[in-house]
């Protein structure tokens, strides 16, 4: 269903999904990561391309040391927002933890394109290149 002047279909459950996203963010803020992960995955079943949710779920998996799973969610997030610095940074750290130096450096280079003075990538890039 597309509105008369809009190009994107309207979400019939928009208010409900916004409410669930707010609950998900509150769980993240309260550091209840297991509950937040369940809530985020449930939200993604309803809204599969919600960039913030994809990023936050990827971040939770990173914190749980599940780097491959984190990368898959961060990749989906980056399909929507190609130059999301936070997603690129966590993806670079995930690749580093998995020993994939080339991909980690690739993420750092992309961050430098957007933000040449980004402080977190300076030590990471130095460590990766040594």
What does pTM read for this prediction?
0.87
User: What is the C-alpha R_g of the chain?
Assistant: 17
Q: Is the pLDDT of residue 130 over 70?
A: yes
pLDDT band at 1 (very low <50, low <70, confident <90, very high): very low
pLDDT in tens, 10-31: 667 888 989 999 999 999 999 9
Question: What domains appear along the chain, each with residue ranges and CATH number?
Answer: 14-129 (1.25.40.10)
Check residue 99 and give left, alpha or beta (phi > 0: left; psi -120 to 50: alpha): left
């Amino acid at each position: 269903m597309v509105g008369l002047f809009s190009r994107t279909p309207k979400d019939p459950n928009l208010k409900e999904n916004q409410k669930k996203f707010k609950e998900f963010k509150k769980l993240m803020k309260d550091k209840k990561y297991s509950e937040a992960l369940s809530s985020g995955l449930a939200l993604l079943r309803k809204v599969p391309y919600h960039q913030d949710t994809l990023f936050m779920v990827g971040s939770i998996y990173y914190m749980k040391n599940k780097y491959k799973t984190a990368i898959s969610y961060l990749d989906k997030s980056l399909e929507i927002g190609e130059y999301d610095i936070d997603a690129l940074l966590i993806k670079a750290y995930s690749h580093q933890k998995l020993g994939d130096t080339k991909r980690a450096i690739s993420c750092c280079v992309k961050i430098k394109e957007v933000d040449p003075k980004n402080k977190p990538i300076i030590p990471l890039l130095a460590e990766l290149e040594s």
